[in-house]
Amino acid sequence: MRIAVLSGKGGAGKTLVSVNLAALSPGSTYVDCDVEGPNGHLFFKPEDSVEEGVAVGVPVVDPDRCDGCRKCVEFCRFNALAHVGGKLRVFEEVCHSCGGCMMVCPRKAISEGEKAIGTIRKGTSGDVAVWSGFLNPGEPSGVPIIDALLGGLEGDGTVFVDSPPGSACVVMESIKDADYCVLVAEPTLFGTHNLAMVHELVETFGKPFGVVLNKDQGGRNPAEEYCAENGLTILGRIPFDAELARITSDAGIAVNEGGRFREMFSGLLENVMGAVQ
């Protein structure tokens, strides 16, 4: 069973929710797909991590074969190729590894090389497997890293996917095989706008989902009003709580402290599992 936790922006609490739900689920796997800013490992502090590189294909030009016809330049939608000064130049930083230039070159002057774009790390923290993806700075897309992470999952254990923020293609990649989505929302108008973005996304993908209201202060909550207006299921509330903020800023996992936080996240986990069935 794969549960994706997402929010329309960073800092809304999706890592807080996914880390604590995974920590409450022995035998589960926590997968940090927020590859531009992964931080779940800071909480889990996994041991025995094994690192693997992730690379993508990039064009390599044989200047002896290239006659400068520019067919590849015209083909590339990403402006990753230019023929200047009698030479074909490749701008790897904007290449999307589609492989099209290799196919259209009439002189077979382009072959496929490899460029490292990041790494994945797999370790364990107690009974939880902790997998994280790291995209190298400046790389255009984290999709291949997310593919490498999620493509490596085996078995039918519970997986908590900590999705990237927003609703771009990396988020779509992280939820495409999810059985259920948990949307984390802040109690502000901006937070409600971001909730609406991810709501639209999960509806587009036809995913079952529910909402967690984070930083709830008990007063008026525009995100809660949005849920009521649109008939969205509220799975639980996490209060705005100085002690919870302290534990989190110290890179602690709240459920491991026991007490009211363990009880609160256990209730949330029960609601999520009940909704998934």
Half-sphere exposure of 90 (CA within 13 A, CB side): 22
Site string for ligand SF4, 37-66 (x = CB under 6 A): ----------------------x-x----x
By CB under 6 A, residue 117 contacts ligand SF4:
no
By CB under 6 A, residue 115 contacts ligand SF4:
no
User: Considering the complex, what minimum distance in angstroms separates the CB of residue 95 from ligand SF4?
Assistant: 3
Residue count (the chain): 277
> For ligand SF4, which residue of 49, 107, 113, 140 counts as binding (CB under 6 A)?
107
Per DSSP, the residues of 243-268 read HHHHHHHTT--GGGG-HHHHHHHHHH
Q: Which is nearer to ligand SF4, 93 or 257 (CB)?
A: 93
Residue 162: what residue type?
D
By CB under 6 A, residue 82 contacts ligand SF4:
no
Q: What are phi and psi of 221, to 5 degrees?
A: -130, 105
User: Considering the complex, what minimum distance in angstroms separates the CB of residue 77 from ligand SF4?
Assistant: 7
* CB of 166 closer than 8 Å to CB of 197: yes
Q: Which is nearer to ligand SF4, 111 or 233 (CB)?
A: 111
264 Cβ neighbours under 8 A, 6+ residues apart: 236, 238
Q: Which stretch binds ligand SF4 (CB under 6 A): 36-44, 81-89, 121-129, 173-181?
A: 81-89
By CB under 6 A, residue 110 contacts ligand SF4:
yes
By CB under 6 A, residue 68 contacts ligand SF4:
yes
Q: What are phi and psi of 49, to 5 degrees?
A: -65, 140
Q: Which is nearer to ligand SF4, 135 or 181 (CB)?
A: 135
> For ligand SF4, which residue of 105, 148, 223, 227 counts as binding (CB under 6 A)?
105
Q: Which is nearer to ligand SF4, 45 or 87 (CB)?
A: 87
> For ligand SF4, which residue of 3, 17, 23, 81 counts as binding (CB under 6 A)?
81
Closest CA to 227 of 172, 187, 178, 273: 187
Q: Which stretch binds ligand SF4 (CB under 6 A): 28-36, 74-82, 150-158, 267-275?
A: 74-82
- Please give the Cα distance from 17 to 40 (Å, whole number): 11
- Please give the Cα distance from 44 to 160 (Å, whole number): 13
Q: Contacts with ligand SF4: how many residues (CB under 6 A)? A: 27
Q: Which long-range contacts (CB under 8 A, 24 or more apart) does 199-207 make?
A: 199/230, 199/232, 200/167, 201/6, 201/167, 201/171, 201/172, 201/175, 202/6, 202/175, 205/172, 205/175, 205/176, 207/4, 207/175, 207/178, 207/180, 207/181
Q: Which is nearer to ligand SF4, 106 or 231 (CB)?
A: 106
By CB under 6 A, residue 109 contacts ligand SF4:
yes
Closest CA to 191 of 183, 201, 180: 183
Residues that bind ligand SF4 (CB under 6 A): 59, 61, 66-72, 75-76, 78, 80-81, 83, 88, 95-101, 105, 107, 109-110
